[in-house]
């Protein structure tokens, strides 16, 4: 079972948080965008999904974020984290 699913609002933030977890000894898989198929997650501690939700229309950002959350739920993630912009200049 996957311990943590992370939805990041941009690629840079996704790679940042993925690298922190890898440095802590976690086995992490990162996707660029919401995957369309299930993932064989045996031995994986965390999945990170990089979106472009910082720079798109609000409606699209919400839709993609919810799709990512639903996909993570389908992968039996125990917890989810939304990693958002550290400078707070995201989609308004």
Q: What is the pLDDT of residues 56-89, one digit of tens each?
A: 999 999 999 999 999 999 999 999 999 987 666 6
Which strands sit side by side in the sheet containing 80-83, from one edge to the other? 28-32, 46-50, 4-8, 80-83
| Domain range summary for the chain, segments of one domain joined by + | 4-83
Kindly tell me if the per-residue pLDDT of 90 is higher than 60: no
Tokens (6 digits) for 77: 């993630």
- What does the alpha-carbon distance between residue 20 and residue 35 come to, in Å, rounded to a whole number? 22
- What does the alpha-carbon distance between residue 46 and residue 30 come to, in Å, rounded to a whole number? 8
Q: What is the pLDDT of residues 23-39, one digit of tens each?
A: 999 999 999 999 999 98
Which one, of 81, 73, 79, lies nearest residue 20 by Cα?
81
């Amino acid at each position: 079972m996957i311990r943590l699913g992370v939805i990041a609002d941009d690629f840079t933030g996704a790679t940042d948080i993925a690298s922190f977890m890898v440095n802590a000894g976690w086995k992490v898989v990162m996707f660029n965008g919401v995957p369309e198929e299930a993932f064989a997650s045996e031995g994986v501690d965390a999945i990170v999904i990089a979106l472009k939700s910082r720079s798109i229309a609000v409606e699209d950002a919400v839709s993609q974020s919810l799709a990512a959350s639903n996909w993570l739920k389908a992968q039996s993630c125990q917890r989810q984290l939304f990693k958002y912009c550290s400078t707070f200049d995201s989609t308004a």
